[in-house]
Structure 1
């Protein structure tokens, strides 16, 4: 189903930002989305589809030139400028377009845009891009940009983990490793801060990092607070140490003014969301309250779960939440041992179809700021023209994402830089992976331990569209029939084989594109006995399927995650939270792992690795 695209207002934004940035540019790359490439003077000579560029029509209208050597009648060699075939957008008798382009030999359309690469510009420096990504669909929504960002702090789980490990009479090598850690990795002190605060704690304006007396000129013209000389040795479990937090050079109006001062940066609140629905005088904070979704047909498949979700109570009505344990054996399902997410979702899959969460709601930007996409950027991968998203993940730290271990084959683990983590639904922020840490006990899907950490090369900028999810207390899991949120970019309609439909789905998989919106849906937590009954009645394999203590089961009617959603978060509300403003309103409860093969006709259920479980390290 297609929705009309309306306007999402960005609170506090200014169109002047985009206008000012649009006048900027570079000669080798695209500075940001509104940079039309008028200053581009690079050497690209092919279009986005790989067609070679033709030389520009004439010297008068040529947007680029090359130097060729000719021989005169006397045999003398002379250099002459002739029209080149480089991608350009300089005008000169040709129309200005949205970005660099060139003429081609295609008779149907004689010109195409060129894929000029973006500059390696930090997300926080691309305010124009951020503004454009916020101003996107969903009538009635308002989002608070929160561009100033925050400093990551400890959630209180580190002490719980240390305490649980210290009480064990026999300790594994992993427990011993935890014993050796003295400072929580979430106690960040601002070393990974990437916000735009540009004044000191006393209110003095920050100066440029590349000023004459600076020792950190690599930051260039930037005037925002940073921690360029962070020193771990100055930290203690409860103290960052002197001058070990974000600071900046300050403008010296008088000779006795200090050269630099520390900045005052607010602490991050995990699971914080910034999206509100304000139409008709209402004010619902999404996704804590999903009342606005009840009137949309996209939520029909789970509309009966919205009220218990809003009230933060399990579903108690057996008509709305019937048992998923069925005794009839309707069809044979493939074995969980055959499940291979990377094979199924990178490029074309023989069971390909439209790519989104099955029976989900179009994700309004900012409603799940912790949701990230994992993209295969290997040059040899399939589907080069499309978006090579293969799994999802959950942001828990400026440098770390949680995903499923089965998403990463040996090639990816040996070449982690082939994986890019994209946050903010679109390309607000994308960082390259530098290390993948699968659970050391993971062997196969279905055997547990299907969890991995992905470390990226640069910290993510936390803002209204990109924000971390809270981890749950140790050994916590939701009550049966608790309502939880799933989402991702996976296949939307599930497996359908044979005939015209299969051919159409295969063609759609070829056209896979980067979605600016994922899909979200509500499911409920299914007790292990009920889930075991449901799975075995559908014969996932010849042997009886066991649900491990480290696994949780979720599902509801025809709602499900699908191929491409693996590694994505299962998010449940903190049962003690009374509102979206609670300290930890949402918990990362599980990671999508595996499930029965999906169609649109059957009750579905998915097995997820439990976060905070006893076997989790």
Structure 2
């Protein structure tokens, strides 16, 4: 018996982990509660306590253990020597953090450079799976889909020719397209993508007003307004404040009707607004000049296609025309791009409200 990496195709009967522990039955919630039930993953053959990789969420077959001291472990199964080509990933889910396919061509037909040529901090991070010159999106990056370096001298990068998967997400575990990055997700999912149980938000000394405004209830996955993260998430460790993205898919408008969630209250342009509050995250005016008197360029400018906040890379309704913005409060106050060749930016000529 063997398995192919990152796939939900192993159907053997092994039921012990690499350390010799017996697996917990998938239909049981004791001693470890979890979301990987036969009803939630009906196509993953979750029979008895046999090792599986439901949804392909991990690098190989695994299981929860019957030991209360060990939540889950990989199983004692060997990796197949030659994975069949039919299992190669040709599309990605979410923002591509868990894409481990073999596509290595960037948009425009450019060939990807090997990751080993670049001394980056994420090369050694667990879970990024950097192999050869295959397209990836390192965990924690703000980019929206798999990408690669295309020039080892300049460090230039491009998004890859990888399509987004079109599939129905698990019922009850979706957030609407109108939420952009899940800011208005109000569901009850409380597990991270790696299977960890979310911790209660109130264990992290959050102010009552902040928790109320962002509906931080119990240990449910959320993405608070102002967060730079692009998907609902939760804390998984109260001591280290470690966090993980949650096991929630973004709704596909062609397959699932958008639920009746509240629309963001800041889509309308207010031409009368001449100042900003706090860090300007909710400034919606039409000022388009910088503190140095330079004219802002449009957020949809073709020269910005590889920048983080180009309209096609950062689908947010407030990036209109060339108006000053501070999306998700990533900078100290409203700003804009001012140069089309090198993505230079400046703070805008907007006073803070009294």
Q: Report the TM range for the smaller structure's normalisation.
A: 0.3 to 0.5
Which protein is richer in strand relative to its size? Answer: 1
TM-score (norm 2): 0.32
Which protein is richer in helix relative to its size? Answer: 1
The structure having more radius of gyration, on CA atoms, is 1
Structure number with the bigger relative contact order (C-alpha 8 A, sep ≥ 6) is 1
